[in-house]
Structure 1
Amino acid sequence: MEGPFAGHFPPRISVAQQPHPALRLHFEEPPTAAPLPVGELSLQFISEAFARATGWQLQYQLGSSADNSQRWSAPVDGATPDADGRLSLVPSSPSSTQIDLEAARPLALAIANLLSESNRLKYGLWQREAELAAGVPVAVRPNEQQHLAERLQCVLQGGAEAIHCEAAALYLLDETTSSLKLRAMWGLPQTKLLEPARPLRGAVADLEALVGHAVVLEDTSLLPHWRCPEGEFGAAVCVPVSTSSTPLGTLWIFSRTQREFTSSQTNLAEIIAGRLAADLEREMLLTVGASAKQGDKQIETAARWQQDRLPSVVPLLTEFEVSGWTQQARSVGGDFHDWTVLPDGRLALAVGDAQGAPLQAGLNAAAVQAAMRAHTGYRHSAKELVTRLNDTLWQGSAGDQFASFGYVIINPETGEADLALAGKVAALLIREDSREIFAADGAPLGTGVEPPLKTAKLILDPGECLVLLSEGVRAATDQAGLRIGEAVMAATLRRHCSEPAESLAGWLRRLLERAGSSEAEDDRTVLVCKRRGNFGNSKKSKRKRS
Structure 2
Amino acid sequence: MTAIAQTWRKVTRKGQSTEAFAAPVEATVETTTIETPAVEIAPNDPLVAFLQSAGEAVEVDKLELESPGVTALREAGVALVVPLISGGELVGTLNLGPRLSDQQYSTDDKRLLDGLAAQAAPALQVAELVRKQAAEARSRERIEQELKVATLIQQNFLPRVLPDLPGWEVAAYYQPAREVGGDFYDLFELPDGQVAVIIGDVTDKGVPAAMVMAAARSLLRASGQRVVSPGEVLERVNDLLCPDIPEKMFVTCLYLVVDPSTGHVRYANAGHNLPYARTADGSMELRAKGMPLGLLPGMKYDEHEAMMSPGDGLLLYSDGVTEAHGAEREMFGTPRLVDHVADPASGDLIDGLLTQLQRFTGDDWEQEDDITLVTLTRTLGSGVQNGRVTELDVQFTLPSETGNEREAMQRVLDAIAPLGLEERRVERLGTAVSEAAMNAIEHGNQGRAEIPVEIEVVTAGGELVVRIRDVGEGPQATEVESPDIEAKLAGLQKPRGWGLFLIKNMVDEIRVIDADGRHTVELVLQLEGGDGDGSDGA
What is the TM-score with the length of structure 1 in the denominator? 0.54
- Rounded to whole Å, the distance in 1 between the matches of 2:352 and 2:106 is 84
Match of 2:130 among 282, 289, 294: 282
Change (3 A) 1:450 1:258: closer
Change (3 A) 1:418 1:468: same
Which protein has the larger Cα radius of gyration, Structure 1 or Structure 2? 2
Q: Matched residue of 2:254: which SS?
A: strand
* Structure 1 residue 456 corresponds to structure 2 residue 304: yes
Q: Which residue of 2 aligns with 1:305?
A: 153
Match of 2:361 among 516, 527, 531: 516
Q: Which residue of 1 aligns with 2:352?
A: 507
* Structure 1 residue 409 corresponds to structure 2 residue 257: yes
Q: Which residue of 2 aligns with 1:114?
A: none
* Structure 1 residue 187 corresponds to structure 2 residue 27: no
Q: Which residue of 2 aligns with 1:250?
A: 94
- Rounded to whole Å, the distance in 1 between the matches of 2:61 and 2:323 is 70
* Structure 1 residue 491 corresponds to structure 2 residue 327: no
Q: For residue 277 of structure 1, report the CA deviation from its aligned partner.
A: 1.6
Residue identity in the other structure for 2:23: G
Q: For residue 523 of structure 1, report the CA deviation from its aligned partner.
A: 3.2
Match of 1:470 among 318, 334, 341: 318
Q: For residue 428 of structure 1, report the CA deviation from its aligned partner.
A: 0.8
**1:22-33 mapped onto 2 (5 Å cutoff):** none
Residue identity in the other structure for 2:92: L
Change (3 A) 1:258 1:406: closer
Q: Matched residue of 1:288: which SS?
A: helix
Q: Which residue of 2 aligns with 1:383?
A: 231
Q: For residue 426 of structure 1, report the CA deviation from its aligned partner.
A: 1.2
Q: Is the 8 A contact 2:194 2:257 kept in 1?
A: yes
Change (3 A) 1:537 1:487: farther
Change (3 A) 1:468 1:194: same
Structure 2, unaligned runs of 5 or more: 13-17, 42-46, 64-69, 74-79, 391-416, 421-538
Q: Is the 8 A contact 1:355 1:401 kept in 2?
A: yes
Q: Which residue of 1 aligns with 2:396?
A: none
- Rounded to whole Å, the distance in 2 between the matches of 1:193 and 1:429 is 79
- Rounded to whole Å, the distance in 2 between the matches of 1:285 and 1:309 is 36
Change (3 A) 1:399 1:187: closer
Deviations 1:414-440 (A, max 9, x none): 121112222132111111331102245
Q: Which residue of 2 aligns with 1:20?
A: none
Q: Which residue of 2 aligns with 1:106?
A: none
**1:188-203 mapped onto 2 (5 Å cutoff):** 194-197=34-37
- Rounded to whole Å, the distance in 1 between the matches of 2:34 and 2:116 is 29
Q: Is the 8 A contact 1:209 1:215 kept in 2?
A: no
Match of 1:238 among 57, 78, 82: 82
* Structure 1 residue 211 corresponds to structure 2 residue 52: yes
Q: Matched residue of 2:131: which SS?
A: helix
Q: Which residue of 2 aligns with 1:273?
A: 121
- Rounded to whole Å, the distance in 2 between the matches of 1:173 and 1:183 is 17
* Structure 1 residue 344 corresponds to structure 2 residue 192: yes
Change (3 A) 1:197 1:521: same
Q: Which residue of 1 aligns with 2:378?
A: 531
What is the TM-score with the length of structure 2 in the denominator? 0.55
Q: Matched residue of 1:187: which SS?
A: coil
* Structure 1 residue 323 corresponds to structure 2 residue 192: no
- Rounded to whole Å, the distance in 2 between the matches of 1:386 and 1:459 is 21
Q: For residue 313 of structure 1, report the CA deviation from its aligned partner.
A: 0.4
Deviations 1:386-421 (A, max 9, x none): 222222223554775522110111112112111222
Shifted more, 262-271 versus 470-479: the winner is 262-271
Q: For residue 300 of structure 1, report the CA deviation from its aligned partner.
A: 3.0
Residue identity in the other structure for 2:36: P
Q: For residue 372 of structure 1, report the CA deviation from its aligned partner.
A: 0.6
Q: Which residue of 2 aligns with 1:42?
A: none
- Rounded to whole Å, the distance in 1 between the matches of 2:8 and 2:22 is 24
Q: For residue 267 of structure 1, report the CA deviation from its aligned partner.
A: 6.6
Deviations 1:506-526 (A, max 9, x none): 332333333228434333321
Deviations 1:351-405 (A, max 9, x none): 0112246554333222211211111222412222122222222355477552211
Structure 1, unaligned runs of 5 or more: 5-170, 230-235
Q: Matched residue of 1:373: which SS?
A: helix
Change (3 A) 1:477 1:238: closer
Change (3 A) 1:244 1:386: farther
Q: Matched residue of 1:307: which SS?
A: helix
Q: Matched residue of 2:164: which SS?
A: coil
Q: Matched residue of 2:123: which SS?
A: helix
- Rounded to whole Å, the distance in 2 between the matches of 1:321 and 1:355 is 30
Change (3 A) 1:322 1:193: farther
* Structure 1 residue 373 corresponds to structure 2 residue 209: no
Q: Which residue of 2 aligns with 1:17?
A: none
- Rounded to whole Å, the distance in 2 between the matches of 1:304 and 1:175 is 40
- Rounded to whole Å, the distance in 1 between the matches of 2:195 and 2:345 is 21
Q: Matched residue of 1:248: which SS?
A: strand
Q: Which residue of 2 aligns with 1:174?
A: 5
Residue identity in the other structure for 2:280: E
Q: For residue 322 of structure 1, report the CA deviation from its aligned partner.
A: 1.6
Residue identity in the other structure for 2:379: R
